[in-house]
Amino acid sequence: MKIKLIGATESVTGSKHLLLTESGSQILLDCGLFQGMGRETDELNRKLNLNPAHLEAILLTHAHIDHSGAIPYYVSQGFRGRIYCTEATFDVCKLLLLDSANIQESDIFYINKKRFKQGKKALEPLYTEKDAVGALKQFHPVKSGAEIKINNEVSFHFTETGHIIGAAAINLTLKKENNIRKLTYTGDIGRYTDPIMKKPQVFPQADFVICESTYGDRLHEETKNMEGRFLDIVCNTCITKKGKLIIPAFSLGRTQEILYILNKLEYKDRLPNINIYVDSPLSTEVTKVVKKHKECFNKELVHYIQSDPTPFDFENLYYIKDVEASKEINRSKEPCIIISASGMGDAGRVKHHIKYAIEDSRNTILVMGYCAPYTLCHRLLSGEESVHIFGDYFKVKAEITSILSLSAHADQNELVQFLACQDKNKLKTIFLVHGEEEAKAEFKIKLLEEGFYNVQIPAPGDVYDLFE
């Protein structure tokens, strides 16, 4: 029985790993899209590296598009098996996969307009809304902790990782004749100080662990005075400079965390009297789903809800759906906070807000999460003096700052903490994935120092025999 590491081996996107059993069964762990890879992105996503029609099942750790976004494409290419995930992950996928399909169709429309002018043949979208709707019919949500038998060789159960609602590690039991191996695929691991989510759950002893390493080479900022720093940025921008605070935020996770912080400030009567806009239809719908899954909340938030049952709603907060209303915010001169997707600034309405705000020194662009190389927010944080947006260059005059303590990914110490439940003498190998080259290399050194004796950094397509 073998594991083939396919995606997110040289980057933090495109997660997918293929389990190959002795009887010929094929099971895919995650099925994500590559994102933020420049011109190579589309080519990477169309390259399958396997035959979807041969897959018996897909096991999904969580709903983020870099882990789930290729599922409709695989369905369109012949995958007919079940897709297993937690109940919360399924609820979020119902929103994110349809949104991703709309993006695929919209992007290809504009690409084909240019190709038409160049006399080139039109391209088809990676997948359509119809493909996404069809894929959702193959989802089979299960409760975290329930043992699920896929076939006589493979069973699994989920354990929560605290990354976003529904996020869970996949703990597999693999059988070959009279021998048993335990394989855990972590997916993305959350924080032990997350303002909303429960702490990552202890997982059972494994023989092999496929572990993410996004922040394997660094430690996050302290969260102790994060609220105070956030409030200082709000007051400096909106009160002192009378400008706009633009916050690129992922629709799932980051947007709700920001709203919860603002809610607490408003509850303490510390928030200035300014309008706050969540300008993302997807964020609005996702927030409704997050509210539904209180079983994912940590003790602090559960306790807070007893005195304030609406932690993501407060005075002067407006959820924007209409495009014209979004444009009106840009035309307005009023100081305000605009929370909008996407989190890396490379797509969605936030890109328009950055365009209109970037050349005014009164404004601030606040980055609050990981930004892949080549993305707009990464370029802004790198200190570029001008940036390319929608075909034009804009001088960077707005203040660019960041608060990275809200990251949904565990840092180096938290990754070690997550793995500390394992007996190092029984753990045969840790495979590091979902990290840039330097992050994985540094994390490998750290794990070896901690006493983990066999740590591998797979290359794309590397295959490992789990019963050797």
91-107 residue pLDDT tens? 999 999 999 999 888 87
One DSSP character per residue, 187-226 reads -S---TT-SSBPPPPP----SEEEEE-TBTT--PPPSTTH
Average pLDDT, stretch 357-369?
A: 95
The tokens of 444 are what? Answer: 């490998």
Average pLDDT, stretch 57-69?
A: 96
One DSSP character per residue, 275-337 reads EEEEE-HHHHHHHHHHHH-GGGB-HHHHHHHHH-S-TT--TTEEEE--HHHHHHHHH--S-EE
The residue whose two tokens read 């010929």 is 24
Residue 382 binned pLDDT confidence (cut-offs 50, 70, 90) = very high
Judge contact between 188 and 200, C-beta under 8 A. no
Average pLDDT, stretch 138-165?
A: 97
- For residue 183, is it left (φ>0), alpha (ψ between -120 and 50) or beta? beta
Q: Which of 445, 434, 449, 457 has its CA nearest to residue 7?
A: 434
Chain segment 384-410, per-residue pLDDT in tens: 999 998 878 999 999 999 998 888 899
Q: What's the confidence (pLDDT) of residue 405? A: 82
Average pLDDT, stretch 278-286?
A: 92
Q: What's the confidence (pLDDT) of residue 465? A: 97
Spell 44-62 as b/e; 16+ CB within 10 A means b.
Answer: bbeeeebebeebbbbbbbb
CA 253 to chain centre: 8
Preceding peptide of 407 cis, ω within 30°: no
The tokens of 46 are what? Answer: 């169309």
DSSP assignment letter at 235: I
Report the run of H or E that residue 445 belongs to, with start and end: helix 437-449
Q: What's the confidence (pLDDT) of residue 111? A: 77
Average pLDDT, stretch 197-206?
A: 98
Q: What's the confidence (pLDDT) of residue 346? A: 84
Judge contact between 42 and 103, C-beta under 8 A. no
Residue 226 has pLDDT above 90, yes or no: no
Q: Which of 331, 343, 349 has its CA nearest to residue 376?
A: 343
* Residue 129 to residue 378: CA distance in whole angstroms: 30
Average pLDDT, stretch 446-451?
A: 97
Average pLDDT, stretch 271-285?
A: 94
Judge contact between 409 and 188, C-beta under 8 A. yes
Instruction: Burial-class residue 319 by CB neighbours within 10 Å (0-12, 13-18, 19+).
Output: middle
Q: What's the confidence (pLDDT) of residue 87? A: 97
Residue 380 binned pLDDT confidence (cut-offs 50, 70, 90) = very high
DSSP assignment letter at 455: E
The tokens of 380 are what? Answer: 């802004």
* Residue 382 to residue 361: CA distance in whole angstroms: 18
Judge contact between 239 and 335, C-beta under 8 A. yes
Residue predicted with more confidence, 463 or 7: 463
Spell 140-156 as b/e; 16+ CB within 10 A means b.
Answer: ebbebeeebebeebbeb
* Max Cα distance, the chain (Å): 71
* Residue 144 to residue 437: CA distance in whole angstroms: 32
Q: What's the confidence (pLDDT) of residue 273? A: 95
The residue whose two tokens read 């099942």 is 57
One DSSP character per residue, 152-191 reads SSEEEEEEE-SSSTT-EEEEEEEEETTEEEEEEE--S---
Judge contact between 148 and 156, C-beta under 8 A. yes
Mean pLDDT, the chain, rounded, equals 94
